Amino acid sequence: MTHSALASRYASALVDVATSPKAGVDPHHLLGELRTFEQVYQSSAELRNALTTPSVPPARKRAVVSRLGELLKVSRIARNFLFVLSDHRRMNMLAEVLEAFDLLSDERLGFTRAEISSARDLDPHQRDAVAQQLERLTGKKVRTRFSIDQDLIAGLLARVGSTVYDGSVKGQLRALGKRLEQE
């Protein structure tokens, strides 16, 4: 997914703050706090209207963000970031900024993303084994997302960046078909 330059700027600034030694916050915990706020924001048309309408004074928007932050028990860093978005009339970009923050913070912390599709649901032991194997192959810590794709017949398919590791029966049948066509 591509992100606008503006969302990436806000996300990058938040990553700088969250990963600084003085922050004392785990970036993924911060992301969780902000996503909780975003869920509330997206679920309430009145809240979205109050935080995005130019006619609502900035002080009133800050009061709403502050009160909601208290109720949701968000950290000072999360609340201050929400103030920045509100003050700059960028609250409607919150979801996009959080997606960019998630990617940038993983990158900064040395993680890579892996999308793994399997023919059936994998148990926790199998998921751990797949993640460990991908870490050995990539030389990086891996954050995995698992999904089910019954078209694979059996096995799994892993995408890490632009690299695809195809251990599915469907992939093996396709490779066999290509070899037979060449002969």
Domains of the chain: 5-107 (1.10.520), 111-182 (no CATH)
Q: 136 is written with which tokens?
A: 């050995």
pLDDT of residue 10: 92
The position carrying tokens 């396709």 is 174
pLDDT of residue 2: 43
pLDDT in tens, the chain (183 residues): 444 888 889 999 998 988 887 877 888 899 999 999 999 999 999 999 989 988 889 999 999 999 999 999 999 999 999 999 999 999 999 999 999 999 888 888 888 888 888 888 888 998 998 889 888 888 888 888 888 888 777 878 788 877 888 777 777 777 778 888 887
Residues 6+ apart with CB under 8 A from 125: none
pLDDT of residue 32: 92
Residue 111 forms beta bridges with which residues?
141
pLDDT of residue 175: 76
How far apart (Å, rounded) are the C-alpha atoms in residues 129 and 136?
11
Please measure the distance between the N-terminal and C-terminal CA atoms of the chain and give it in whole angstroms. Answer: 40
pLDDT of residue 1: 41
pLDDT of residue 28: 87
C-alpha dihedral sign at 132, 161, 146, 151:
negative
